[in-house]
Structure 1
Amino acid sequence: MSQIRLKIAIQKSGRLYEDSVQLLKECGIQLRNVKDRLRTEADNFPLEVFFLRDDDIPQYVEDGVADIGIVGENVLQEKNKKAFVVEALGFGKCRLSLAIPRAEEYEGVQSLQGKKIATSYPFILQEFLKEHNVTADIHEISGSVEIAPGIGLADMVADLVSSGSTLFMNGLKEVETILESQAVMISNIALSSEQELILQKLLFRIRAVKKAQKNKYILLNAPNDQLTQIIGLLPGMKSPTVLPLAIEGWSSVHSVLSEDTFWDIIEQLKEAGAEGILVVPIEKMIV
């Protein structure tokens, strides 16, 4: 009997493709040649990969053609398909925002009443307007949304924003965030028990990779008379590891620091007398 494989759909090109393939690689999953292919399999994990247009991924997952998929939250909400999020992945971050000509003043959501708004996300925009009891004329455009006000097609746009440079170059300014988005893993609502088991194994690996990305391994030398203070600054996963050095009166301290608090704690460690501080990236972190 053939081995059961979990089928995953990822973007075949575009901003999520490379990060999705890299994530699987960091999870130790070896994919056969992925260049210019629409389908491939992993050699060392029961996973089959489909490379699809991002707009199609929610439909494939709802239909069960793919069991899971990696897609932007913006696409998932716009397509409004029956698939649910099993993990936020932390990459591909952007936002769907309203933008107006820079010379104009924005007076809040109610000022959108009766306006013409160009967007590639009519469903999300309509839900947003409905939530605020606003009626506007939505113009659906598949690309180059930001030029719509300049050519007289619309008064404003609802478009994806990362840095905001594209809006700026087209004379627009961001005034309202409709949706914060990132890449998420979605799943079909009716996986078999075997597929669910494979998914949980995959999620275990993904979470170990994500945890590692958010933390740093730190090694430092500390005078013994300052150990209590230094250890108090290093919570670690349970508590720091302390080993005696060959030089009397000194110890080596090993711990893990969160990326969010890293620099503040490093400064405090130096002030407390820590020396020879080494910072090492973590490949995987299992807690």
Structure 2
Amino acid sequence: MSNLRLKIALQKKGRLSDDSIELLRRCGLKLLSSKSSLFYSAENYPIDLLLVRDDDIPTLIQDGICDLGIVGDNVLKEKTQVNLEFSSCFQTIMPLNFGRCRLSIAVPKDQEYQTIDFLQNKRIATSYPILLQQFLKQENITAQIVSISGSVEIAPGLNMADAIFDLVSTGRTLAENNLKELYVVLESQAVFFKSTSEFNSEKKKIYDVLLKRIQSVIKAQESKYILFHAPRDAISKIREILPGCESPTILPLEGSEDKVAVHVVSRESVFWNTLEKLQTVGASAILVLPVEKMMA
């Protein structure tokens, strides 16, 4: 890897890895993988990707081996709490709106509980001992933390623990292991972060372009392009109905003096009830389209 190329550390497998690579491809990077598939090089831009274990990503940024990283916020928080010096080494640039999950306390389904005090003097298995320790201290709970590097969900079934503290996405893994979610401690998603060290002028230019493209892709994902016909005198009501919209483009309709064509970009979710409200003020021929790219 050339020192003149920007290096990004990504998780080497899993949904977060796939979504990270897809995000960068949507930013226009043409990625070529190595034989091992642990290294990607962009053929059309000076950027390289290194695919590693998720908990190694912050270390690679801290040591200056990579310039940027994409990782779950839960991993970054755990790492910075293990070594408080880490927290001054990183700058979270932005959340990326994928890899959403939560760190939760879960217990066997047949276990009865009333409050979080149920955990008092219990054994809790986790891969995130520091975040769990913080939570227990905050709740004034004394419990035994059982650190496990993987497959935390099997611990209660093996009588290794009375509860677990682990990542939950859909809840399917919990159900498969006869567990139920008791308490959500931390909401997490993928974040884009960097070292607090300054880039040299060449890397700064590459970084600035990449950041702008990522922001544009995410803005496009959050936006919809909406087209419809509407009575000219209903435009003010339509602006109130559509969430997060900019000023609409109003175009005349041939053969109609009292109706116009409305084009608008909405930066929030457009649900069925929003479309039904538009109909109540006279909108018709409503079309909602995804936005592929969007730049201010």
Q: TM-score, normalised by structure 1?
A: 0.92
| CA-CA distance at 1:41 after TM superposition | 2.0
The answer to whether structure 1 residue 39 and structure 2 residue 17 are counterparts is: no
Separation in structure 2 between the aligned mates of residue 268 and residue 70 of structure 1, nearest angstrom = 39
Which stretch of structure 1 is more off in the superposition, 133-142 or 177-186? 133-142
Could you tell me how far 1:92 is from its partner in structure 2? 0.5
Q: Which residue of 2 aligns with 1:164?
A: 171
Aligned residue pair count: 286
Which amino acid letter does the alignment assign opposite residue 45 of structure 1? Y
Equivalent in the alignment of 2:263:
254
Q: Which residue of the partner structure matches residue 283 of structure 1?
A: 292
Q: Deviations over 1:93-130 (max 9, x none)?
A: 11111111112222333332221111111121112112
Q: CA separation in 1, counterparts of 2:115 and 2:254?
A: 66
| Matches of 1:114 and 1:191, distance apart in 2 | 47
Select between 204-213 and 248-257 the one with higher mean Cα deviation. 248-257
Q: In structure 2, what residue type is equivalent to 1:211?
A: K
Structure 1 segment 1-287 matched on structure 2, within 5 A: 4-33=4-33, 36-80=36-80, 81=86, 82-194=89-201, 195-234=203-242, 237-249=245-257, 250-287=259-296
Amino acid at match of 2:135: F
CA contact (8 A) 1:119 1:158 kept: yes
* Contact kept? 1:235, 1:255, Cα under 8 Å: no
- What is the deviation of 1:227? 4.2
Mean Cα displacement is larger for which, 13-22 or 248-257? 248-257
In the alignment, which residue of structure 1 is the partner of 2:83?
Answer: none
Q: What is the letter of the counterpart of residue 195 of structure 2?
A: N
C-alpha displacement of 1:231 = 4.8
Report the alpha carbon displacement of residue 54 of structure 1 after superposing the two structures with TM: 1.2
Gaps of 5+ in 1: none
Cα distance, 1:245–1:175 mapped onto 2, change above 3 Å: same
Contact 1:221 1:251 in 2 (8 A): yes
CA apart distance, 1:26: 0.9
Q: Supply the distance in 1 between the matched residues of 2:293 and 2:98 (Cα, whole angstroms).
A: 17
Query: Is the 8 Å Cα contact of residues 219 and 252 (structure 1) preserved in structure 2?
Result: yes
Tell me the CA shift for residue 73 of structure 1: 1.1
Q: Alpha carbons of 1:154 and 1:286: their partners in 2 closer, same or farther (altered >3 Å)?
A: same
Contact conserved, 1:234 with 1:240, CA < 8 A, in 2?
no
Task: Specify the SS of the correspondent of 1:40.
Answer: strand
What is the identity, as a one-letter code, of the residue corresponding to 1:247?
G
Residue segments in structure 2 that go unaligned for 5+ positions in a row: 81-85
Letter matched to residue 150 of structure 2: G
- For residue 59 of structure 1, give the secondary structure of its aligned residue in structure 2: helix
In the alignment, the residues of structure 1 paired with residue 244 and residue 78 of structure 2 have an alpha-carbon distance, to the nearest angstrom, of 41
**CA–CA distance in 2 between the matches of 1:125 and 1:253?**
52
> What is the one-letter code of the residue matched to 1:198?
I
More deviation in 163-172 or 187-196? 187-196
Q: 1:147: how far off?
A: 1.6
Mapped contact 1:67–1:191 kept (Cα < 8 A): no
CA contact (8 A) 2:229 2:283 kept: yes
Q: Secondary structure at the match of 1:90?
A: coil
Question: How well do the aligned residues superpose, as a CA RMSD in angstroms?
Answer: 2.1
Amino acid in the other structure paired with 1:93: R
Post-superposition offset of 1:203: 1.6
1:166 is paired with a residue of what secondary structure?
A: helix
